[in-house]
Structure 1
């Protein structure tokens, strides 16, 4: 699992738009047996979310201000450590509003999951959740809490940088793995070395670099790195 989390951290660090972070999170979720992910930041009553949940569930959640009663959010703020959860445990906890929340979550394919909370600045909390429609999930792939929290912090700060940055034209955007291989190239690693570091086949690494060269109109990898630096991509 160490390799999966490391790859998620690397791809998030290399991302230069939200699409790339979403792609990295989706890849990690699928490889770990989950169907959805959600990044949530809370500060007082205000929330900011970044997720792959169904659009109608996002509308319901935000419109009903469910973050007030969401047992996952409450538990994350209380525990500040990686934990698993299942919606089937919520039914004995109280109000009809909570029961409605639980039933709607299950209806939209959110029944169990694992959440990684991290305490932020000025009373804020960041949390990354991976969710499944199954009754119970296997969390062995997220049992390195330090790396899991590093992933949350990397995503948090990368989103802040992206929000403040000017990005190149959409047609020149790189895929998450292209960007990750480019980052290693910028650090002086050749394709075989990058393959060892990322667990990707050397020929596939070269394929990603060649694709990135075409997108940024570079003749060589050193030129690719130089162009990427000029555009703030590395």
Structure 2
């Protein structure tokens, strides 16, 4: 497995565009007899996956991830270190069995996941998946080296702005968009209410609804997300 980590380090060093990153990850998965890969980033208000797995599975995975019903991602968030997983593990809850039952329809039964901590207490996780019921590793994976390799890959993906295979939809209503745009220009909620000739609570409630929809803590996060998505 440490050869897999070495391959990840090479990708972080040589990848120079969107296509190179995806092709290199697919080639690495194939080299070690995995059926595919999935790189997942889950931040408040931002979910994206870069993967060569079946699009229908990625849509279902998105639902499991956002509802916090993906046992692999849940373990990644708790452990923050590389681990091997399998659908044959003992004492799986009914919810976990449901996840693995759905994954099995797409020939996903085991794999290895390497999570890393990123900003705002969130994680990114790279998984290589297999149709085998149990993944047998010939050698233990070095968790420190693995985290370092995925950290470099994460930085490269962010630098190159690699297009996600699937991304959480994001929208603002016309009022939410207008109020958020004023905030992005440095106006306060009070200023925005005065400019738009509405009550303070009208603006406050609209912004609160937008934050609630995407699990955001404050208006700064809302403005940042709206800017990243090109809505303001």
TM-score (norm 1): 0.62
Which residue of structure 2 lines up, in the alignment, with residue 94 of structure 1? 94
Q: Distance in 2 between matches of 1:84 and 1:2?
A: 13
| Structure possessing the higher radius of gyration over alpha carbons | 2
RMSD after superposition:
2.3
| Change in CA separation of 1:3 and 1:65 when aligned onto 2, cut-off 3 Å | closer
Contact 2:8 2:150 in 1 (8 A): no
Q: Unpaired runs of 5+ in structure 2?
A: 163-232
User: How do 1:110-129 and structure 2 match up within 5 A?
Assistant: 110-129=108-127
Contact 2:61 2:70 in 1 (8 A): no
Higher helix share: 1
| Change in CA separation of 1:106 and 1:160 when aligned onto 2, cut-off 3 Å | same
Secondary structure of the 1:89 match is coil
User: How do 1:45-124 and structure 2 match up within 5 A?
Assistant: 46-63=46-63, 65=65, 68-89=68-89, 92-95=92-95, 98-124=96-122
Which residue of structure 2 lines up, in the alignment, with residue 38 of structure 1? 38
Which residue of structure 2 lines up, in the alignment, with residue 9 of structure 1? 9
TM-score (norm 2): 0.62
Q: Unpaired runs of 5+ in structure 1?
A: 165-234
Contact 1:39 1:51 in 2 (8 A): yes
Pairs aligned (count): 162
Secondary structure of the 1:61 match is helix
Secondary structure of the 1:88 match is coil
Q: Distance in 2 between matches of 1:22 and 1:142?
A: 26
Q: Distance in 2 between matches of 1:4 and 1:65?
A: 25
Contact 1:91 1:99 in 2 (8 A): no
Deviation at 1:132, TM superposition (A): 0.2
Contact 1:90 1:102 in 2 (8 A): no
| Change in CA separation of 1:65 and 1:7 when aligned onto 2, cut-off 3 Å | closer
Q: Distance in 2 between matches of 1:45 and 1:77?
A: 17
Q: Distance in 1 between matches of 2:104 and 2:130?
A: 9
Match among 144, 147, 150 for residue 148 of structure 2 = 150
| Change in CA separation of 1:44 and 1:155 when aligned onto 2, cut-off 3 Å | same
Q: Distance in 1 between matches of 2:99 and 2:152?
A: 30
Deviation at 1:88, TM superposition (A): 2.6
| Change in CA separation of 1:163 and 1:40 when aligned onto 2, cut-off 3 Å | same
Deviation at 1:139, TM superposition (A): 2.9
